[in-house]
Amino acid sequence: MVKTRSVIYCRECRMHWIVDHEPARCIDSGHAHELFEVHLHHSRVLLPDGTAVTAVSYDDLDPYDRGRQPDYGLYLDRKWEPPWPHEYLDWPDFGVPDSSVHAISTLKAMLKRAQDGESVEIGCLGGHGRTGTALACAAVLTGCPPDKAVDWVRSHYCPQAIETLAQEMFVLELLA
Ligand SMILES: [Zn+2]
Ligand SMILES: [Zn+2]
């Protein structure tokens, strides 16, 4: 079971806040407020060849709270600035990387660390679009057929993984 956090969003103000942790950013009773249950991932994912990585969401309240710190983190968003060794793979929100060649080499280097015994985590912000797409790519690089990788990540990680058609196409065409 993935942990969740309740978030309220005001569409008119385009503001969100965390229930019970932050003051309401909009108190206009004329505005429609929507309640969301947002996933807080800290999910161990076993890739097709047995390599383990931990997929994480960025928790605004305490992003670096861990029982045990990872040896290495690969982050798809520069908001991450953890105290442990880490690198970035630039990946626009709701988008795909400019270069699949660079993405492949970065993901392969991450997988090599995990295969060598390091505890490795990967994350963006929400943990679904970019992280989900990167995990699907990692699944392809560890033996999953590209046309099965989107389903693979949704069943082995989270049903909400991968958010756009362009992200699905990126996985499908990763090795093309
Ligand atoms: Zn409002
Ligand atoms: Zn999720």
- 62 and 16, same structural domain? no
CA distances from 157 to 36, 51, 71, 101, 160 (A): 20, 14, 21, 24, 9
- pLDDT tens digit sequence for 92-130: 988 999 999 999 999 999 999 999 999 999 999 999 999
Q: How far is the CA of 32 from the centre of ligand 1 (A)?
A: 7
- 105 and 50, same structural domain? yes
The backbone torsions φ and ψ at residue 100, rounded to the nearest 5 degrees and listed phi first, read: -70, -30
Q: How far is the CA of 25 from the centre of ligand 2 (A)?
A: 25
96: domain range?
Answer: 41-172
Q: Would the pLDDT of 82 be above 90?
A: yes
Residue 147 is classified by DSSP as G
**Distance (Å, rounded) from C-alpha 4 to C-alpha 166?**
27
Global pTM?
0.92
Which strands make up the sheet holding 3-10, listed edge to edge? 15-18, 3-10, 33-40
Q: How far is the CA of 9 from the centre of ligand 1 (A)?
A: 8
- 69 and 93, same structural domain? yes
How many domains does the chain divide into?
A: 2
Instruction: Pick the ligand that lies closest to the CA of residue 28.
Output: 1
Residue 38 banded pLDDT, cuts 50, 70, 90: very high
Side-chain-side CA neighbours of residue 50 (13 Å): 3
